[in-house]
Amino acid sequence: MLVTAPGCKSNGSSADGDDTGTDGDGTDTGEDGGDEDAYIPPPGGMRRLLDYQYLNTIEYMFGPEAAAVANPPVDPSLHGYTSIGAAQISPALDLVELYEASALAIADAAIANISTLAGIVPCVQSSPDQACYTTVAETLGHLAWRRPPTADEVAAIVEIALEAEAWGAGDFYAGLKYEIVRILLSPDFIYVVETGVQDDGEPGVYWLTGSEVVTRLSLLLIGRTPSLTLLESAEAGNYDSPDAVETLARAMLDDTRAPEAVSEFFGEYLALDDISAKDTEAFPLYSVALVDSMVEETELLLRDVIWTQNSDFRDFIEADYTFIDSKLAELYGVPPPENDWDMVMLPAEQARAGFISHASVLARNSHGAGNSTTRRGLYIQQRLLCFAIPPPPPEVNPQLPEIPDDTPMTLRELMETLHLEVDSCADCHRHMEPLGFTLENYDALGAWRTQEQNGLPIDAVAEYGDYGVLENAADLAANVAMDPRLGECIVNNIIRFGRGSLENPSNESEQLADLYGAFESSNYRFQELLVAFVTSELFLQVGEPK
């Protein structure tokens, strides 16, 4: 169903529909596709709750103490997203064991701190008797499974509760504990099913049902499954129109949990948890705490742009301000903040701008002991611009050359020799190295530098395709921010994250173009992108179950 990864044949950074494949730019060339009838939604089916969705849902149902002991399985990722992995990769053989261990611990904590559950099912506190087991099965079952359990299912749940109560010598809470475990171990809790209802006119198109829509929406926008009230309202047909979905989406974006849920997207999209340790001899400032501060800086800028300012998302790429704590102040060589975190203007002489010059992304795309112009360039192309760069062809010699001791080189000089002189390498590397060269003024930890460790001066001026001459990082950031592929790439990525499948330029070209357009016409406000996405066919429809 997918387009094969491309070569690197295109010139420069043009966004004119070259052969960059499924992630190249996604714009419709007009030569094929673009026919409304060609639209085929991605298949319906089931996907597993992601770890954070599971934890947030447990906290909602049972309280923070229960969430603190919950320990769901690790989510494998596919195409860079755990949501895609959760829709396609088969469960590991220890999946149920891990869920069971988690459910047993949750149930103990839920009962030890019963008030949260009692807020949903009051009888667990007010009248703890056998009749309450039925109420729990019906109410908590409905909430956890996102559908009302059938009478047979309620009976099966209560049977476990009664058996456990007897095993616990008549203790109501022994029965309740295993009843909770029973409900949480059901595949109806663990998997989100999205099969929809067949469209009257188009047999290959299925509209998600009301409860499927509010579940998908809640998971994306507030990071947990819906409340019982919302589920019941959806079951009554109140969310069958895009207008109602929009109203709900806007309400959810105002929810205090929305920023954290949206940060889950950026956590995977920006992949900043991959910052590996640095060689502390070369980088004495390195510490795990510093890395935490780096990631927090990026988080704070994101939240400022998306939530506080609700401004043009491209500010995230090229803002002239940032947020620092004392550790980052030391790293960046600026005065320490007055508070734990302060918003500060970036020092002009360092030519920093926005996320592209954050220590987080610079350190992530470096080696333990030094810079990598390749990785920095690859990250910008692949993650920010969705320009797919294929693996090196097998015939390419990937060996680094020997540098004679008596003629030291800068990293840039080495890469120019190695990656840009030979055509077979340069085909792809000319899309990576020049971008990386402009970031050479920042070391592997993201600190400003004007010379390399060997004392050679840094030349950060580079030239790249349509971007032309790039004087420094701020220049690069401005070009990336203005590149139309940036907005399209973010759209592609939120689709991947939000529905658990890759966007498909062949089957969805019109819908994708509409969403790219909606993001642009909203002046690239991320909240508006989310609203446009969740009210589009891309979000509300699925195909045949896979």
Partner 1 sequence: MRKHLKRRTFLRGALGGGIASIALPPLDAMMNLEQTAFADGSSQPRRYVSWFRGNGFILDRFEPIGAGADWQLNDHMTPLAGVKDYLNVVTGLTNRCKETITHHEGMTVFNGYTMVDIGQGQGFFSNSGGPTIDVLISDALAGQTPIASVHLGASKAQSPADEGTTMHNLSHRGHLQPNAAITNPSAAWQSLFGSFVQPKDDRELRLHILDSVKGEVSTLQSRLGAEDKVRLEAHLDSIAALEAKLMTATPVCELPMDPMFDNSDAVNNEQLTLVNELMSDLLCYAFSCDLTRVATMLFLEGAAEPSLGEVPGNDSSWHQYSHNVNSWDVGGPFDNGQYYLMERFGYLLTKMRDTIEFDGTNLLDNSIVLMSSDASDGSVHSIQRHPMILAGAGGGYLKYPGIHYQPEPLSGNYSHGSHPGPTSGNTTDVLMSIMRAFDDSVSWIGEQPNDQGEGAGSGTPLTEILA
What is the smallest separation between the CB atom of 370 and partner 1, expressed in angstroms?
7
What is the smallest separation between the CB atom of 183 and partner 1, expressed in angstroms?
9
* Sequence-distant contacts of 344-347: CB under 8 A, at least 24 apart: 345/320, 345/321, 346/320, 346/321, 346/322
In the complex with partner 1, the residue whose CB is nearer, 185 or 480, is 185
Examine residue 402 and tell whether it contacts partner 1 (CB under 8 A).
Answer: yes
What is the smallest separation between the CB atom of 344 and partner 1, expressed in angstroms?
21
Q: Binders of partner 1 among 10-39, rule CB under 8 A? A: 21-23
Which residues have C-beta within 8 Å of that of residue 491, sequence separation ≥ 6? 26, 503, 512, 515, 516, 519, 529, 533
What is the smallest separation between the CB atom of 37 and partner 1, expressed in angstroms?
23
Examine residue 2 and tell whether it contacts partner 1 (CB under 8 A).
Answer: yes
Q: Binders of partner 1 among 282-311, rule CB under 8 A? A: 282, 288, 291, 295, 298-299, 302
CA separation for the pair 123, 125 (Å, rounded): 5
Examine residue 66 and tell whether it contacts partner 1 (CB under 8 A).
Answer: no
Among 18, 65, 171, 188, binds partner 1 (CB under 8 A): 188
Q: Binders of partner 1 among 495-524, rule CB under 8 A? A: 502
Q: Binders of partner 1 among 71-90, rule CB under 8 A? A: 71, 74, 76-80, 88-90
Question: Tokens 């016409």 label which residue?
Answer: 521
Examine residue 272 and tell whether it contacts partner 1 (CB under 8 A).
Answer: yes
Which residues have C-beta within 8 Å of that of residue 516, sequence separation ≥ 6? 26, 27, 487, 488, 491
What is the smallest separation between the CB atom of 8 and partner 1, expressed in angstroms?
11
Whether 283 contacts 359, CB under 8 Å: no
Q: Binders of partner 1 among 228-257, rule CB under 8 A? A: none
How would you class 301 by CB atoms within 10 Å of its CB: exposed for 0-12, middle for 13-18, buried for 19 or more? buried
What is the smallest separation between the CB atom of 239 and partner 1, expressed in angstroms?
21
Examine residue 278 and tell whether it contacts partner 1 (CB under 8 A).
Answer: yes
Residue 541 phi/psi, 5-degree rounding, is: -120, 150
According to DSSP, the β-strands at 468-470 and 206-207 are unpaired
Among 178, 497, 519, 539, binds partner 1 (CB under 8 A): 178
Examine residue 187 and tell whether it contacts partner 1 (CB under 8 A).
Answer: yes
Examine residue 422 and tell whether it contacts partner 1 (CB under 8 A).
Answer: no
Question: Tokens 């970036």 label which residue?
Answer: 346
What DSSP designation does 349 have?
Answer: G
Residue 81 phi/psi, 5-degree rounding, is: -130, 130
Examine residue 162 and tell whether it contacts partner 1 (CB under 8 A).
Answer: no
Treating both helix axes as pointing N-terminal to C-terminal, what angle do 473-482 and 484-499 enclose, rounded to 10 degrees? 70
In the complex with partner 1, the residue whose CB is nearer, 195 or 215, is 195
CA separation for the pair 379, 288 (Å, rounded): 22
Examine residue 193 and tell whether it contacts partner 1 (CB under 8 A).
Answer: yes
Q: Mark the segment that binds partner 1 (CB under 8 A) among 2-10, 203-211, 321-329, 508-516.
A: 2-10
Q: Binders of partner 1 among 342-401, rule CB under 8 A? A: 367-370, 382, 386, 388-392, 394, 397-401
Q: Binders of partner 1 among 94-133, rule CB under 8 A? A: 94-97, 100-101
CA separation for the pair 242, 115 (Å, rounded): 36
Examine residue 61 and tell whether it contacts partner 1 (CB under 8 A).
Answer: no
Q: Where are the alpha helices (DSSP H) in 281-372?
A: 288-303, 315-318, 326-332, 359-364
Among 10, 13, 39, 52, binds partner 1 (CB under 8 A): 52
According to DSSP, the β-strands at 321-324 and 206-207 are unpaired
In the complex with partner 1, the residue whose CB is nearer, 182 or 352, is 182
Six token digits for residue 519:
């993001």
In the complex with partner 1, the residue whose CB is nearer, 394 or 455, is 394
Which residues have C-beta within 8 Å of that of residue 522, sequence separation ≥ 6? 528, 529, 532
In the complex with partner 1, the residue whose CB is nearer, 190 or 231, is 190
